[in-house]
């Protein structure tokens, strides 16, 4: 198909043809301006709707969900306006859209076989949004990566990890979502003490440290419940492991954990409670029989 036949062929030898061409270009410019204004109006309407929706919600989780949906709506509206404005501009120039659509349909079938992963990304992204699994600002583990959700579209999720690295994860690669930002979280800690220590006394000191951190103004609002001590979790090689946890506001579990461990270390030092570490016994070289020699006696 000769694509040049789709374009009008003005007679450059007459001035009227130039007038017609300028008129059509003016119409295209007018269409682009109207399209830009429509896009700004749609953006303003979506923002107004989001602000009203936020005013009716009270939780931070609902605010995050509304903000994420707003970004997706902007993305979808931008694509629809771009298609409509582009089609209208081509029609104004006298370009027949029907042959282009037919050609695009044939090419789309061929491309579709190689773009199955892209289609999967869009459908998976739509399901994730409808089920409210991920929102902007959440801390999640997906596809083997962890970080804060900076952006979510129908095609990908953009994460930024603790080191600042940015990860772009296609929605089709997401099979399991671990969200650490829903309503509350637990700051879980395994405390190791020496076998010679009395576990009841250790637990009492741990509870004192828990009360101390709860009395701090910067942490009192972050901790939802007092320290919960589960008890002896296991017998490790060189320590007795005692498990405990705080129920805290979502995303505050790491700060609470670090502060509690710092307070508990000081209290263990004050009470003389030993925090064990691996020991190694060194012997001198073995004799010809292959048995290790006894360590030298102290004089």
pLDDT attached to residue 206 = 96
Q: What is the pLDDT of residue 120?
A: 83
List the beta bridge partners of residue 141. 146, 178
Question: How big is the CA angle at 163 (ends 124 and 141), to the nearest 5 degrees?
Answer: 30
What pLDDT does 260 receive? 97
Residues lower than pLDDT 70 in the chain = 1-18, 20-21, 23, 57-65, 92, 94-115, 279-281, 283-299
**Paired tokens of 44:** 């303003």
* Tens-place pLDDT, residues 109-123: 555 555 677 778 888
Q: Report the pLDDT value the prediction gives residue 4, as an integer from 0 to 100.
A: 42
Q: Give the pLDDT score at 214.
A: 95
- Structural domains in the chain, CATH included, are 3-114 (1.10.287.1260), 136-179 (2.30.30.60), 184-271 (3.30.70.100)
Q: pLDDT at position 279, please?
A: 67
Decide if 179 contacts 152 (C-beta within 8 A).
no
Query: pLDDT tens digit string along 89-105?
Result: 777 676 666 666 666 56
Q: What's the start-to-end Cα distance of the chain, in Å?
A: 104
Report how far residue 244's alpha carbon sits from residue 232's, in angstroms, rounded to the nearest whole number: 9
Q: How far apart are CA 159 and CA 145, in angstroms?
A: 8
3-state secondary structure of 59: coil
Q: Please give the pLDDT value at position 2.
A: 39
Q: What is the pLDDT of residue 197?
A: 94
Q: Over pLDDT 70: what percentage of the chain?
A: 75
How far does Cα 281 stand from its chain's mean position?
47
In this prediction, residue 287 carries a pLDDT of 54
């Amino acid at each position: 198909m000769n694509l040049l036949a789709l374009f009008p062929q003005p007679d450059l030898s007459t001035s009227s043809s130039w007038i017609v061409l300028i008129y059509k270009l003016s119409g295209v410019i007018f269409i682009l301006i109207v399209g830009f204004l429509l896009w700004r109006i749609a953006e303003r309407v979506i923002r107004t709707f989001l602000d009203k929706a936020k005013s009716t919600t009270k939780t931070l989780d609902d605010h995050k969900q509304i903000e994420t949906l707003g970004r997706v709506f902007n993305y979808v509206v931008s694509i629809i306006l771009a298609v409509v404005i582009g089609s209208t501009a081509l029609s104004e120039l006298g370009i027949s859209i029907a042959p282009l659509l037919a050609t695009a349909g044939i090419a789309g079938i061929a491309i579709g076989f190689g773009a199955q992963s892209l289609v999967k990304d869009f459908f998976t992204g739509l399901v994730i949004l409808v089920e409210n699994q991920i929102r902007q600002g959440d801390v999640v583990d997906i596809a083997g990566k962890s970080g804060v959700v900076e952006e979510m579209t129908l095609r990908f999720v953009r994460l930024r990890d603790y080191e600042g690295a940015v990860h772009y994860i296609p929605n089709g690669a997401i099979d399991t979502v671990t969200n650490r930002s829903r309503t509350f979280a637990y700051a879980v800690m395994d405390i190791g003490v020496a076998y010679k220590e009395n576990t009841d006394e250790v637990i009492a000191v741990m509870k004192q440290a828990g009360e101390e951190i709860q009395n701090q103004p910067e942490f009192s609002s972050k901790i939802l419940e007092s320290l919960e001590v589960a008890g002896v979790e296991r017998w490790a090689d060189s320590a007795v492991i005692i498990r405990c946890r705080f129920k805290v506001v979502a995303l505050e579990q790491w700060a609470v954990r670090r502060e509690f461990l710092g307070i508990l270390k000081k209290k263990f030092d004050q009470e003389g409670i030993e925090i064990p570490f691996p020991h190694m016994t060194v012997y001198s070289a073995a004799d010809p029989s292959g048995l290790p020699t006894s360590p030298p006696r102290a004089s």
